[in-house]
Structures are given as C-alpha cells and as structure tokens.
Amino acid sequence: MKELARLATSDGGSIVLYDWMEARDVNLVRLDADGRVIWRAKPYMPPEDCFVRVWWEGERLTAQTFSCFEVAVDASSGAVTAIRFTK
C-alpha cells in the first residue's frame, strides 16, 4: 500500500498513514519496531470517513479526516480522544 506519511515513535516503531484509496477499511496504523500492527485508528465517522493527514503536535498525535475533523489520537491505543470540526 502507498504510504502518505510515516512518523517515528519513541519505541522504534512508527505511525503510518496509508492512501485511503488503497486502505479503505482503516488507513492510520501504529506499527512496532518489527512492523507488526499495534492498532488501527478509527475515524470519527466510519465507515465513510478516512484520515488524510497526520502529525505530531509536541507529544500529541493529531490527524485530519476527509470530512474535516481534526482529532487527537491516543498514541498508545489508537483511540480518538478529541474532536474539532474545521470546515
């Protein structure tokens, strides 16, 4: 699958944002240092929504969805912890 972004994590793993056209189920995942999936983050409005951008804001993992929500994603569990509509 095509990667749109890869962010390093402190444990040697990574947060990967895959192209939503190729990863229609869930396109934001956390991988451990060996490449195994730790979690798959669910967008705010599944199954219609997907992640389109991801970045670190300090120690907070933040993502933007196709339907214009900015969310904080818990880096240890993948749970969406805060939501803000940006449109």
Separation between Cα atoms, residue 84 and residue 40, nearest integer Å? 20
Overall average pLDDT of the 39-53 stretch:
85
Overall average pLDDT of the 1-19 stretch:
96
Percent of the chain residues past pLDDT 70, beyond the cut:
97
Whole-prediction pTM: 0.91
Side chain identity, residue 20: W
Overall average pLDDT of the 46-53 stretch:
84
Query: Which domains occur in the chain, in start order?
Result: 3-85 (2.40.10.480)
Overall average pLDDT of the 29-45 stretch:
93
* 48 phi/psi in degrees, rounded to 5: -75, -25
In the three-class reduction of DSSP (H, G, I as helix; E, B as strand; rest coil), residue 7 is classed as strand
Judged on CB neighbours under 10 Å (0-12, 13-18, 19+), 84 is exposed
Name the token pair of 75: 């880096």
